[in-house]
């Protein structure tokens, strides 16, 4: 199971057996059922989460009580509310499993210790956040440039595995439209 | 002028005179007039830009030929198209000065050399991207949770210096609505 994390780290930096074994020891493994909350609004986002299997989402509850999805994390993705995590202050978000999931969690203090012991891991996390930063620049581009229908098709092309796997109402929430509208677009395509 | 960068780095990590002098040597200074393009669509985003004074914006041109602003960078902010910069492939964005600006630019190869010579600078850049990542999570929250009017008022409260300084049509573009609508909201507030 740890091999998933190791392979992911090795995409960016070299790492040997001895170091990885120590690095691994900073994480704890969470086996969570579907719809388990790893983070609840008002609580501190204690950990940074790496998905081994399954899927997570970051969402908030709007004034009407509707859950609005901000970010997904499939296998090999990291997820946290980075405002809450980095300042260890209460969060405005939830993090929840969409499927039964296996997750590695590293709490804030452990991550700081890990980075002190293995400063080259800063490079790994720099890449993770730089990629997320880049992805959000494109997300805003798509949100602002496309009709809602184009947005769905672009997303479909970029992340086909997502569209197959994520429940329709969550995908609609992520793309900023209603489940009914998503269903309409999908039916149009099939017919 | 270099002191601005040094102070910013020292917010996150300790740095001595000797190292900073070497780090500084990897950057070149750009004195740009207002509305100067540092990056043009179709070209590679060669450099990562740090704003000493003035203001930059990242934007794209949509199908209707309208410029749509994705990100701003005031003093002490970094800006690049990180997809283009990290892969050194053609960009879908523009980067332009909004005001007469003084910018430090570090090209991709120089940044890699800098990070090899001073690996602790990975920690600095990790913080920069982690903060941007956190800011984008909130940006999506605001975009999805608020009416357009609430969005403007929230932005006004969070970044009053921005709202004073940025031309109205650019702010409207950034918030995803028309300059006319922004003008309407502003007038409502004054009256």
Measured CB to CB, residues of chain B less than 8 Å from chain A are 58, 60, 62-63, 68, 70-71, 81-83, 86, 92-93, 115, 119-120, 122-123, 125-126, 129-134, 136-141, 143-145, 176
pLDDT of residue B189: 67
In this structure, what token pair is assigned to residue A90? Answer: 């209460």
Residue of B nearest to A137 (CA): B70
ipTM score for this prediction: 0.93
Q: Which residues of A touch B130 (CB under 8 A)?
A: 82, 86, 125, 129
Q: Do A130 and B125 touch (CB under 8 A)?
A: yes
pLDDT of residue A19: 96
pLDDT of residue B152: 83
Q: Do B130 and A86 touch (CB under 8 A)?
A: yes
Look at residues A107, A100, A80, A110 and name the one whose alpha carbon lies nearest to residue A31.
A100
Q: What is the pLDDT along chain A (191 residues), one digit of tens a residue?
A: 789 999 999 999 999 999 999 999 999 999 999 999 999 999 999 999 999 999 999 999 988 888 999 999 999 999 999 999 999 999 999 999 999 999 999 999 999 999 999 999 999 999 999 999 999 999 999 888 777 788 888 888 888 888 888 888 888 888 888 888 888 888 876 65
Q: What is the pLDDT along chain B (191 residues), one digit of tens a residue?
A: 789 999 999 999 999 999 999 999 999 999 999 999 999 999 999 999 999 999 999 999 988 888 999 999 999 999 999 999 999 999 999 999 999 999 999 999 999 999 999 999 999 999 999 999 999 999 999 888 777 788 888 888 888 888 888 888 888 888 888 878 888 888 876 65
Contact B31, B19 (CB under 8 A): no
Q: Do B137 and A63 touch (CB under 8 A)?
A: no
Look at residues B108, B101, B121 and name the one whose alpha carbon lies nearest to residue B35.
B101
Query: Within a 10 A sphere around the Cβ of B146, how many other Cβ atoms?
Result: 17
Q: Do A141 and B60 touch (CB under 8 A)?
A: yes
DSSP H helical ranges for chain B: 2-10, 17-24, 82-87, 108-117, 121-145, 148-158, 160-165, 168-175, 179-190
pLDDT of residue B127: 98
d(CA B121, CA A24): 24
A53/chain B closest Cα distance in angstroms: 23
Look at residues B120, B184, B2 and name the one whose alpha carbon lies nearest to residue A115.
B120
pLDDT of residue B190: 63
pLDDT of residue A190: 63
In this structure, what token pair is assigned to residue A148? Answer: 């809602």
A102/chain B closest Cα distance in angstroms: 23
pTM above 0.80, yes or no: yes
pLDDT of residue A60: 96
Q: Looking at the partner chain, which of A63, A115, A145 has a beta carbon nearest the beta carbon of B60?
A: A145
d(CA A25, CA A111): 11
Q: What is the mean pLDDT of chain B?
A: 92
CB pairs under 8 A between A and B: 115
Q: Looking at the partner chain, which of A70, A115, A137 has a beta carbon nearest the beta carbon of B71?
A: A137
d(CA B108, CA B33): 24
Could you read off the pLDDT of B23-38 as tens digits, one per residue? Answer: 999 999 999 999 999 9
Q: Do B82 and A130 touch (CB under 8 A)?
A: yes
Q: Do B139 and A144 touch (CB under 8 A)?
A: no
Look at residues A33, A76, A130, A12 and name the one whose alpha carbon lies nearest to residue B80.
A130
Contact B82, B93 (CB under 8 A): no
B123/chain A closest Cα distance in angstroms: 5
Residue of A nearest to B62 (CA): A145
Q: Which residues of A touch B143 (CB under 8 A)?
A: 143, 176
Residue of B nearest to A175 (CA): B144
- How do A56-61 and A94-97 pair as beta strands? antiparallel
């Amino acid at each position: 199971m740890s091999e998933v994390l190791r392979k992911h780290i090795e995409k960016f930096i070299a790492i040997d057996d001895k170091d990885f074994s120590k690095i691994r020891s900073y994480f704890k493994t969470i086996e969570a059922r579907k719809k388990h909350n790893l983070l609840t609004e008002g609580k501190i986002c204690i950990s940074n989460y790496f998905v081994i299997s399954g899927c997570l989402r970051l969402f908030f509850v709007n004034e009407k009580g509707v859950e609005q999805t901000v970010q997904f994390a499939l296998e090999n993705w990291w997820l946290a509310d980075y405002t809450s995590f980095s300042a260890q202050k209460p969060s405005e978000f939830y993090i929840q499993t969409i499927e039964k999931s296996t997750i590695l969690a590293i709490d804030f203090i452990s991550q700081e210790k890990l980075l002190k012991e293995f400063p080259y891991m800063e490079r790994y996390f720099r890449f993770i956040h730089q990629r997320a930063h880049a992805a959000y620049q494109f997300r805003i581009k798509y949100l602002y440039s496309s009709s809602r229908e184009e947005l769905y098709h672009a997303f479909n092309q970029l992340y086909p595995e997502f569209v197959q796997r994520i429940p329709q109402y969550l995908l609609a929430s992520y793309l900023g439209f209603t489940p009914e509208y998503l269903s309409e677009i999908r039916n149009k395509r099939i017919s």
